[in-house]
Amino acid sequence: MSINDQKSTLTLLLATIAALCAPRFSCADDPDEFFVKQALPIIEKRCLSCHSHAAGKAKGGLVLDSKSGWQQGGTDGPALVPFKPDESLLISAIRYDDYQMPPEEKLPDAEIAILEQWVAQGAPDHRETKRPAIDPAKLWALQPILQPSIPATWDSSWCLDRADAFILEKLQNARLRPVAQAPRNVWLRRVTLDLTGLLPTQAELDDFLKDPSERAHETVVDRLLNSPAYGDHWGRHWLDLACYADLADIQGDVLVREAWRYRDYVIEAFNADKPLDRFIQEQIAGDLLECHDQREHRELIVATGFLAIGPWTLQNYIKGQLAADVVDHQIDKIGRTFLGQTLACARCHDHKFDPVPTADYYALAGIFHSTKTTSYDGPGVWSQISHVPLPITPDDQSAYERLAAELSEKKQQLTKELDGLIKQDAQTRFTKKIEDDQANAITSTQNIDANQTGVEYRVSFLAGPSVWSDAGQATQATDGLVVQVLRADASVLAYHTLNPGAWTAQADSQSFSPASFQYTGDGSGPIQLHITSWAFTGRFGGAIDDLSVAVASDAKSIFTEDFSNCQLGNTQGIQAHTGRTVYAKCTMPNWTGSGINHSHMVDRGDKDQPNIALQFYSGSPRSTNHPRATEIQRELAAIDQRLESARPDKQTALAVAEIPEPADCRIYKRGDFQSLGDSIPRGFVRAISVSQEPKIPENQSGRLQLAQWLTDASNPLTPRVLVNRIWKELFGQGLVRTVDYFGVHGETASHPELLDFLANRMRIDDGWSLKKTIKHLVLSQTYRMASSHDPQFASVDPDNRLLWHMPRRRMTAESIRDAILTLSAQLDLGRGGPSLGLHLEGNIAGLGGNVNPPTWVGKVDPKVRNRRSIYLPYKRERPSGDLEILSVFDFPHPNDITGQRASTTVATQALYLINAPLMKEQARKMAEHWIAKVPDDQSERYRQVVAAAYSRAPDHAAIRDDAGKDDEEFKSVLEFLKTCKEAYEVSENLSDEQAAVSAWAELCHAILGSNEFLFYE
């Protein structure tokens, strides 16, 4: 107990004694005295054990140890209304009216009367806030970074890097010794996985083991740091902190399209070794930094994706709440990522442990409320993430023009070829009746929820007769359209046929007239609309426009499709007689069907553009059965798609921007955006002092100044937090193990001087270079240690805090997947670009008239499917489907700011390894690959497989023991292969060769599930 504590206890004791001795109500005339002598002792005795800072409890959010405590009140608002006991919650609670306080037992009536009287007197209370002041000067992480001297152990021959001296000194002080060096192959596997996330190849292993040079390790490290795989791996660590995902919203699949640009920015920043201070500044305020050319300008805008990409609840009905939550996440992200502080705790109240008052939170909140991240334009409930157009660089423009020229030439060739084919085929096809009545059907693929039992719905559209574009034919009275309402199981709920009437080749008769029919819902679920030409004639259908479904009684619209948003292909011809343009090649978002090529878009010729109707007919003058034609059409569509997506003027990034009128923010009392308190000038966390605090000009948000403040040479936290993160990636745990939290309840550093040494070296000597920092550390003697066990050392330091050996670690989830694909020879080292595959047919849902924004259907582009994990599409939920393996092995939730992933060992992982289709599929491919590579010699094949999977050195490949006999492991492997082969021959009736492949697939499957593969030392 400190002297202060003793003193306050004494005061309290005296006050209590005084109260007990005082005659009752004698001081009623002086309300202040009455409070001190009568009311306060009761409060202290009865209330403060659950409602005070001293007790560390604020039940219901209420503290009663100061006047401001009851003024502010708890979750139900102020506890007292001065002069009005009957309106005071506290009084009602002690009377046991509503709340029953204290919960154990009701107070004696006399005590209740005293408190009532005190409130009736106006509740005088002299006590000031009792928040225990946290002195920033006492918190190690907030102290200036020192320049520690290198320990004397530096002279030891063991030390290779100065960091080693700090490690060795601590070990010696604890009477521990570092274990021996790891074998070279073990070090190579370790450093290759840590720097690139990939396994070393056989050739890399051979090269290193044969390199006698003293610089052999350095050669490896330089090669790894210069490989693009380095950025792919370290970029992913950053994306964990940035809460990266390719899609938005809490259901995970709302399109945001452009997130990948930020991902590629991060990877390239790591590969280019962008100084970390600059890297931070760009991500907070890139749009406000000076730039030299358009390329850099582009990059700087994209960088702010750090702030723009996050777990926003875009469909939150309550927009004030959404804005507050976005700002809160941004503050939390910056606090944890750069400062190791849980600033977001101060959203509702002063931080409970750390010196972060609510006012500081709202000083930062003002900066982010002055920054545009999302916007709401209505109607409906959805907001959007801000998209910022990217400046066009001259290179982009000329690249696009080159591409356009090249493709246009290609397109002309293809079109010419297609025309030829069509001409050949046209004559015979025009008169041929299509037998299949589905041939020219289209169906709305979007389920329409218009099927409540007993409700009458009306399907309305405009209909008109149709003509060939060039055949000069007329329609007959029997030609027509069929519109069907289909249930989910494709059975017909209702249908309607329409004969628009014969058209007699007169231009003026082609007008549209309204048509409609009704049906009654049967409650069987969503319906689909299905439109075909009238099957029995096999001839013209007709044209249709402005299709809608509505509730019949009140015309409440449920679905509309006016075709005006359809994407037009090239003009394919002129309609006979009317002279109207025909767009024969058209695609309609949301619509598909086997008959799509048998329909066309025609310009209705009305004044308002675009004004398009859909025509159906059975058998197209522009089509041919020639297989090459389909191929050409596909190629043409792909060209259009490629050109469209390459248009430089269409490119945007998810990025933040300044708002026109930046302003300070008012405190949200208890975090509630509707209860406004004082206005707080924009600023930073006051407990973190920097030598020159930047001033925020009135007309700026303050992001630029925040970026400067974070990277200020005297900011004690940013470099410490960063080097600790780097250390953690290389040595398994941070010097401060709570890598995201350096606050009062975080851990202290195991090696405080080392942490400061590393922070200084990175910031000053190495100019914030990540690559240099990593290079020092992986070339250190500490990093070269083996993972050997030592019972004595383990009993002294079971958690290996002093690093007497290197830890054994499981590969990251991504490395496991990437390594499996490496071993099966499936890994595609392609990099960069969009990952969602939105150009794939049907991969975007929800574009038509729906209140919800478009979503990603989930098809992964074959182009990226086998790429490294970082390049795959991420939903805003734990990865599933093809990426389920990542979730199984502790990939973080993308909404969580994650500096250190969990490392779990659970049965679901074993089930996955044993049974998941991905494991079986890749094991078989792996077997096929290695059998092809080493066709004849089983033992050589096994040696090579384990060298690749386990990075074993050839002399440790465990085929023969010292006596030259098959060793135990290899014997059991041979036995296993034999059993498997026999089983497959018998039970599956496979040939000798097939059974051998299957047996090897089983062996590969076992290897992929073994610890020696999954872990590294």
Partner 1 sequence: MNDLTRREILQKTCCGFGGLALNALLQQDPVFANPVFADPVFADPAVSDPTRPLVPKPTHFPAKAKRVLFLFMSGGPSQMDLFDPKPELEKRSGQALPYKLPDTEATVGLEQTKLLGPIAGFKPQGQCGLMMSEMLALTAAHADDLCVLRAVHADSPNHPLAIRQIHTGNLFDVVPSMGSWLSYGLGTENQQLPSYITILPQEGERNYSSAFLPAIHQGTAIQELGTGTKSPIRHLSDTQSPAQIQRQRIDLIQSMNRRQLQRLQSDQQMEGVIESFELAFRMQTETPKLVDISGESQETLDLYGIGQPPSDEFGRQCLLARRFSEAGVRFVQVSLGGWDHHNGIASGLKDRCRVSDKPIAGLLSDLKRRGLLDDTLVIWGGEFGRTPHAQNGDGREHNHHGFSMWMAGGGVRGGITHGVTDDFGYHGVDQRVHINDLHATILHLMGLDHERLTYQHHGRPFRLTDVAGKVVREILA
Residues from 912 through 951 that contact partner 1 (CB under 8 A): 912-916, 920
Least CB distance to partner 1 at residue 598 (A): 35
Contact 249, 894 (CB under 8 A): no
Element of type H or E holding 470? none
Subset of 677-706 contacting partner 1 (CB under 8 A)? none
Give the interface size with partner 1 as a residue count (CB under 8 A): 100
Part in contact with partner 1 (CB under 8 A); list of ranges 58-66, 270-278, 489-497, 509-517: 58-66
Instruction: List Cβ neighbours of 657 (8 Å cut-off, separation of 6 or more).
Output: 287, 371, 372, 386, 388
Stretch that binds partner 1, among 111-119, 361-369, 403-411, 967-975 (CB under 8 A): 967-975
Rg of the Cα trace of the chain?
A: 36
Positive or negative, the CA dihedral 463, 464, 469, 470 is: positive
Contact (CB, 8 A) for 577 and 866: no
Contacts of 962 (CB under 8 A, 6+ apart): none
381 binds partner 1 (CB under 8 A): yes
| Binds partner 1 (CB under 8 A): choice among 895, 938, 939, 994 | 895
Give yes or no for a contact between 528 and 444, defined as CB atoms under 8 angstroms apart: yes
851 binds partner 1 (CB under 8 A): yes
What is the per-residue binding string for partner 1 in 805-844, x denoting contact by CB under 8 A? Answer: ---x-x----------------------------------
**Residue from 122, 144, 380, 681 in contact with partner 1 (CB under 8 A):** 380
Q: Name the minimum Å distance from CB 875 to partner 1.
A: 10
Confirm or reject binding of residue 174 to partner 1 (CB under 8 A).
no
- By C-beta, is 571 or 788 nearer to partner 1? 788
Nearer to partner 1, 504 or 795 (CB): 795
Q: Which lies closer to partner 1 via its Cβ, residue 509 or residue 557?
A: 557
Asked if 976 interacts with partner 1 (CB under 8 A), we say yes
* Residue written as token pair 């390719």: 246
Closest CB to partner 1 among 653 and 980? 980
Q: Which of residues 492-531 bind partner 1 (CB under 8 A)?
A: 521, 523
> According to CB under 8 A, which one of 579, 905, 935, 993 is a site residue for partner 1?
905
Classified as helix, coil or strand, 503 is: strand
Out of 172, 227, 294, 313, the residue judged to bind partner 1 by CB under 8 A: 313
Considering only 13, 14, 318, 490, the residue that binds partner 1 (CB under 8 A) is 318
The binder of partner 1 chosen from 353, 400, 495, 517 (CB under 8 A): 353
The single residue among 157, 213, 427, 987 that binds partner 1, judged by CB under 8 A, is: 987
Closer to partner 1 by Cβ: residue 871 or 950: 950
* Nearest CA among 987, 945, 992, 995 for reference residue 969: 945
**Window 698-757: residues binding partner 1 (CB under 8 A):** 738, 740-741, 743-746
Restricted to residues 521-580, the positions that interact with partner 1 (CB under 8 A) are 521, 523, 551, 553-554, 556
Cα separation, 536 vs 840, in Å, equals 35
Site for partner 1 in 746-805 (CB under 8 A): 746, 787, 789, 791, 794
Q: State both tokens at 110.
A: 């006399």
- Specify which residues 676 forms β-bridges with: 668
Q: Does residue 654 sit in helix, strand or coil?
A: strand
Part of the chain binding partner 1 (CB under 8 A), chosen from 108-116, 649-657, 758-766, 973-981: 973-981
Are 652 and 302 a contacting pair, CB within 8 Å? no
Q: DSSP character for 153?
A: G
Report the 10 Å Cβ neighbour count for 586.
23
Instruction: Tell which phi-psi region holds residue 77, choosing left (phi > 0), alpha (psi between -120 and 50) or beta.
Output: left
Tokens, residue 25: 């109500």
- The yes or no reply on residue 311 touching partner 1 (CB under 8 A) is yes
Tokens standing for residue 141: 């992480």
Select 451 or 599, whichever has its Cβ closest to partner 1. Answer: 451
Looking at beta carbons only, is 120 or 983 nearer to partner 1?
A: 983
> Is-contact 535 437, C-beta < 8 A?
yes
CA distance 616 to 497: 14
Residue 856 and residue 255 in contact, taking contact as beta carbons nearer than 8 Å:
yes
Do residues 442 and 591 lie in contact, with contact meaning Cβ atoms separated by under 8 Å? yes
- Minimum distance, C-beta of residue 323 to partner 1, in the bound complex (Å): 11
The binder of partner 1 chosen from 67, 577, 801, 878 (CB under 8 A): 878
Kindly indicate which of the ranges 208-216, 429-437, 648-656, 1007-1015 contains the residues binding partner 1, using the contact rule CB under 8 A.
Answer: 1007-1015
Nearer to partner 1, 481 or 823 (CB): 823
Closest CA to 614 of 548, 560, 564, 555: 564
CB-based contact 208:216 (threshold 8 Å): yes
Residue 230 gets which letter from DSSP? H
**Cβ proximity to partner 1, 319 vs 387, nearer residue:** 319
Q: Which of residues 86-115 bind partner 1 (CB under 8 A)?
A: none
